[in-house]
Amino acid sequence: MENLLAHLHATALGTSRSSTDEEGEFLETKLNVTALLAMRKLSSNPSRIELMNKRVAPRLPPHLVSRWQQIVPLIEECARERNTVVHGDWWLSDLYPDGLILQDKQWQLTLYEVQCFEYVLECISTLSTALVKFAREVGKAQIG
């Protein structure tokens, strides 16, 4: 997710000279390396979103601003779900051989079964697809 946001930021602020093939498929854009590195230095999604809102959104045509505003809640949701899985305090129990138990900071226990983890994967996959498509649209718009 972080790398896709960094690439999107670099595409939007790059000297974007995109081209398409015969089928209209996006082929290339020149990245702004400084923008890429700046985004990668940020350590949280809220700060990445804020940077995109301040530096990129003002340069976008209205239809792309609208698309970005639709993507932001998905970024936030997927980040929450991912962080729960990655940073959770997980336990095993003989009572639930097909699941894991998450203990949160308030000592509440939640049973996670396969479908819970599948949801997180689906969320991240959906977000990745949305960010790649959006980066292509930004590249085609040649906003640089």
What is the pLDDT averaged over residues 68-73?
Answer: 96
What is the structure's pLDDT at 18? 52
Q: What is the pLDDT of residue 16?
A: 47
Q: Is the pLDDT of residue 21 over 60?
A: no
Q: Are 80 and 72 in contact (CB under 8 A)?
A: no
pLDDT band at 29 (very low <50, low <70, confident <90, very high): low
Distances (CA, A) of 42 to 11, 69, 124, 136: 17, 20, 20, 23
The model's confidence at residue 80, banded by pLDDT at 50, 70 and 90, is very high
pLDDT over 60 (residue 20): no
* pLDDT score recorded for residue 2: 77
Quote the number of domains for the chain: 1
Query: Range of 35's domain?
Result: 2-141
Report if pTM > 0.85.
Answer: no
- Over residues 105-111, the mean pLDDT reads 93
Of 134, 136, 144, the C-alpha closest to 65 is: 134
CA 127/CA 49 separation, integer angstroms: 14
- Flag the least confident range among 1-5, 45-49, 95-99, 106-110: 1-5
Could you tell me the pLDDT band of residue 10, with boundaries at 50, 70 and 90? confident
First to last CA, the chain: 23
